[in-house]
Structure 1
């Protein structure tokens, strides 16, 4: 199904969410969950840091990550239903258990009506496995009949447009989002589509040949289960077609560029701009017939993708649309479909050996489709009022620290500094939950109709987005639900957003050491603030408008430092022969470096001139660094690591700890890191950005 797409990276999150990454523990049963105390997150030691998790045989000069987390990592085993596991996931377990508690209460029938009834009915429809099994492939029949009935490429294009509010994919992906150059208005964005593997590299790189072969078999299997004719031949044609699309698709690093992906095109000119694809039929199918203008993201790829579409026989296009429909619907169908999807998408692509228990997938489904309804129940039950006030104070400290850093920059001229400080002053901060909750009254949820419920929820969300095309931007809207363990910066709204669920250990412990809190949640706050000034966020001004507000000289100096940082990451090997893509991860790497610097500055400011206490032999600065390192402790399965290296704009956990600190002078001073230590970088080679 479709998820909210943030218009060519208009929002930058702390980490990328993954269903397998954020699964809850397969061993948890309903009675165990009910018996657990869900009121508080587990603490990380008596003062907020897990001293027993350190590897004292190592040293920060070898690896801060290993020193802070080595003993914990030695004992850590990734549960069978996960592709990765660590500090984030432990907290996410609590979030999922809490959501389960409020969802199952609603599902038990304690609510006569309203949104809680919808929450309960959607969950019940997913949990009624016997009903789902009895239906088999029948829920697909109407959708597949429409695809079978298409006779022309225009009719297929219309059906592809309709996938924006339902199952299936398209050669072009539409979204309605804030206009990057006029952020008080909504615009229609179009991005390249046509691929169903995690990234174009899966089609083109020799190391993914086993996955490609498995993919072709998976396509044939799903088409066969759905009763589509000639599934093996169709699968071969589909993979060949997608490979051609992959060859001319932009890389993920290219797609990060906010300037290059802002390309307005009048809808009347789309046919001439990218011939071979029926744009009128497509936009009509997507409910966007009234749009007079679109923003084409990967514009140079559009004519080539349209040409591939125009040169592909209609039967292959129909088979592809049928496959993508079944692929996205498989989790809501009988076990043969569901298991086939898991075996390929989780086991083959991510190395995850075991399926999540059904209740966890049910919680994820409800959160994805009724997220603010569940979020309100979550907040009412589990979010302390004082957490919001304390978070506001922390954000104020971090903003003060950023302002001081901007003023002291020796590479930035006075005019750009003035505008940077103006942008910082206009930052909006959202904490915990929305001031205005989403209205789900128009969404029909029917007991016992899982497939229909999911399809109607997708249509409801898409209609909500298309209906506001000529309306002013809703600046109160959130892009994450309150129970999400994450945070983000939106460039078009110039805002930083922190959902309720992240405001707990290991990020924030109200009873813990302030230094560890500054390293944890303070580093997260600083990370999101810095996104407003990373290589892409810096291009938008204080009003969220994509514009030229830097001097050319300052832009050039920034670019030199950013390139140096990128080379540090690109030189880092995380698996044999597999290195980080410094261009793809650039924005997150800048945000990590800036975030940790701001956290350290803010902690020092909080002392108000008094000496920092020493706890268990650790200084205040040391504890800030350890607080940051503790947040990122975790392991990835190798197949999942290979996937994120080509598809995720975030570096792997070890790099998010060890690479930023190598550029921070205070790290050397705090831990006595000297020339000859593996972590040592000479002062003149350290990257100085924010």
Structure 2
């Protein structure tokens, strides 16, 4: 993740799967005899026709997607194992003494407050009654704007998100970023494109259901107004592809200039409610959308805004309310939008609620009002082996060395840009496992019978953490992803971060053949390093500032190669008539190609001139590619795929394998891929960037 402000830049995956416990103490690899599950492949498929199926086909054919998941995979199985461990920790913590001020007690009481479904069902909509009453009493647009300012500390929604992160033009200080928001579905396309008409109709029915449960007057008519309002918001908003340009998304200005840019919205009341009343300057992100959004706001009837805000409150709080709210939320967000057929077990939802998850700008569920950092401390104290930290740091060093060599040899880059690229590469620091400084939860009051209150008090504590450091020096030891998150990221602080939970098979197995680990975790490390030089990351310099450090000729050469790669992904068709958006997924595709290329180079370097061993008739290069392919073994429902290609910058799994390998010469040699094979590209058509 480049930052909370820029688009995500991570090796992300949906958190679903079937758990398998790995035991490093056995000395045996978790998968197969040497780290790869050969039985899961399908050797009847030519590698050159579909390498993803060649490596994973039998497993794909015989592994159903569970009814309570929109996906299943080996990578995501790691999350189930982590969830089970967290469940054990929380169950034990819940048995502790109520009212104890320890982290364990607070985690346990939060978990208990979620698990007491009888109590929550008896409460119904009462936990959000204060918020709904406030909406009804806010009879003007200015009063409604003030409510929107509470979006980081309450269940209220907003036309605009507020976040605090490193200033991209002055990396020694923090800045307040303001971005477009206001939609209840994943992307503007769900409102505007005819292929999502079914989902839009279901969403209107969902809004009606929420408003009915909340006791809102005339819910049917109000729901029509809400969906019409959100459709207009979608029309005024810019696309996710446009959001990927960090230069266009960085527009610093005073609050008074923001008022001039986007009149018709009570900005001063908005920032005051956000506890930023003294903030004089902000960074506006989707600058062209702001005047359109405030003009829409200024002409929308207050009654419509009230109904919309009531919908947002009910939607944001539904996960923490009675069963009818939770079921409604599941039917819309999980079943209709992702194809999940059955709601997860309550204990798993409880783990999510307390632990949090991987959060991007605009996402609320799991990212809002949790004790994620406290849970992270408990998790790493129990489950993170110190030896893994050492091995990952060594692997990172090898990948950085391989990247250094590649940059020095790039035939399309001139010496001036090359010097800056090497300088930037050398500035990256590696963070493994967990943060050096734990988050302080001393003042966060948690009660065993007040779930909604726990969520809001945790949210207030989290927001206060960011607000209170606005005028302080940037904390370069900071993390933006909890240790129990099954992911990794490349951050604003020029840091590559690997949380404890991702360091499990099939991503990292201390007992596996080194080639498998280089293909899996090595590919992930290379992926994160490459994010610093993808189409977004390349616009950040060695200091971490947003600056153009490229010569015009080198920038043109990069853009031509990136465009060529984008065209390849545009042609991929995960479902009939559904194509990958090569521009939306550009950064991740570049990072996948760079990551796998670097992993192979680093593996070669690790041999120190000696030939790679042949295992079960497979060469070292073959095993590196198979390690990468196994790391992405998995599948999604059709609805989840549609959602992913519309709103997610990551390509579906099969194309995170087939897309990169067809551009790497060594893959052709390793698997004897010939002209006429479906994935074959003529050498002149293969994309080589990093």
TM-score with structure 2 length normalisation?
Answer: 0.96
**Structure 2 residue 124 is the aligned partner of structure 1 residue 170:** no
Distance 1:138 1:5 in 2: 40
Q: Give the 3-state SS of the residue equivalent to 2:376 in structure 1.
A: helix
**Contact 1:585–1:651 (8 Å) recurs in 2:** yes
2:9 corresponds to: 12
Distance 2:16 2:601 in 1: 35
How far the C-alpha of 1:176 sits from its partner, in A, is: 0.7
Deviations 1:288-323 (A, max 9, x none): 111111111100000000000000011111111111
Distance 1:319 1:402 in 2: 53
Deviations 1:48-82 (A, max 9, x none): 00010110111211111011001111101001111
2:113 corresponds to: 125
How far the C-alpha of 1:528 sits from its partner, in A, is: 0.2
1:681 corresponds to: 681
Of the three residues 269, 275, 296, the one matched with 2:284 is 296
1:105 corresponds to: 92
Distance 2:672 2:217 in 1: 68
Distance 2:163 2:151 in 1: 12
Distance 2:87 2:392 in 1: 26
Deviations 1:360-403 (A, max 9, x none): 01111111111221112111111111110111100000000000
How far the C-alpha of 1:633 sits from its partner, in A, is: 0.9
1:494 corresponds to: 494
Q: Give the 3-state SS of the residue equivalent to 2:179 in structure 1.
A: strand
**Change in CA separation of 1:85 and 1:141 when aligned onto 2, cut-off 3 Å:** same
Considering only aligned residues, what root-mean-square deviation do their CA atoms show, in Å? 1.7
Distance 1:687 1:418 in 2: 23
1:361 corresponds to: 349
**Change in CA separation of 1:79 and 1:11 when aligned onto 2, cut-off 3 Å:** closer
Distance 1:522 1:678 in 2: 27
2:213 corresponds to: 225
How far the C-alpha of 1:461 sits from its partner, in A, is: 1.0
Distance 1:39 1:483 in 2: 21
**Structure 2 residue 377 is the aligned partner of structure 1 residue 380:** no
Distance 1:370 1:187 in 2: 24
Distance 2:507 2:562 in 1: 27
Which shifted more, 374-383 or 609-618? 374-383
How far the C-alpha of 1:228 sits from its partner, in A, is: 0.7
Distance 1:437 1:11 in 2: 24
**Change in CA separation of 1:5 and 1:309 when aligned onto 2, cut-off 3 Å:** farther
Distance 1:24 1:45 in 2: 19
2:462 corresponds to: 461
**Contact 1:23–1:356 (8 Å) recurs in 2:** no
**Structure 2 residue 445 is the aligned partner of structure 1 residue 444:** yes
1:22 corresponds to: 15
Q: Give the 3-state SS of the residue equivalent to 1:210 in structure 2.
A: helix
Deviations 1:610-636 (A, max 9, x none): 000000000000000000000111111
TM-score with structure 1 length normalisation?
Answer: 0.96
Question: What does 1:554-569 correspond to in 2, within 5 Å?
Answer: 554-569=554-569
How far the C-alpha of 1:164 sits from its partner, in A, is: 2.0
Deviations 1:113-147 (A, max 9, x none): 31111111100100111111111111111111111
2:634 corresponds to: 634
Question: What does 1:73-472 correspond to in 2, within 5 Å?
Answer: 73-109=60-96, 112-368=100-356, 369-472=370-473
1:625 corresponds to: 625
**Contact 1:38–1:97 (8 Å) recurs in 2:** no
How far the C-alpha of 1:7 sits from its partner, in A, is: 4.0
Shift >6 Å, 4+ stretches: 35-42
Distance 2:190 2:403 in 1: 40
Q: Give the 3-state SS of the residue equivalent to 2:307 in structure 1.
A: helix
Aligned positions, number: 675
Which shifted more, 80-89 or 558-567? 80-89
Q: Give the 3-state SS of the residue equivalent to 1:265 in structure 2.
A: strand
Deviations 1:395-448 (A, max 9, x none): 000000000000000100001111111111110110011111111112111110
Of the three residues 37, 43, 58, the one matched with 2:30 is 43
How far the C-alpha of 1:688 sits from its partner, in A, is: 1.1
1:59 corresponds to: 46
Distance 2:554 2:634 in 1: 38
**Contact 2:120–2:322 (8 Å) recurs in 1:** yes
Q: Which runs of 5+ in 1 are unaligned?
A: none
Distance 1:321 1:568 in 2: 42
Distance 1:577 1:607 in 2: 45
**Contact 1:61–1:677 (8 Å) recurs in 2:** yes
Q: Give the 3-state SS of the residue equivalent to 1:154 in structure 2.
A: helix
Distance 2:479 2:29 in 1: 27
**Contact 1:266–1:292 (8 Å) recurs in 2:** yes
How far the C-alpha of 1:648 sits from its partner, in A, is: 0.3
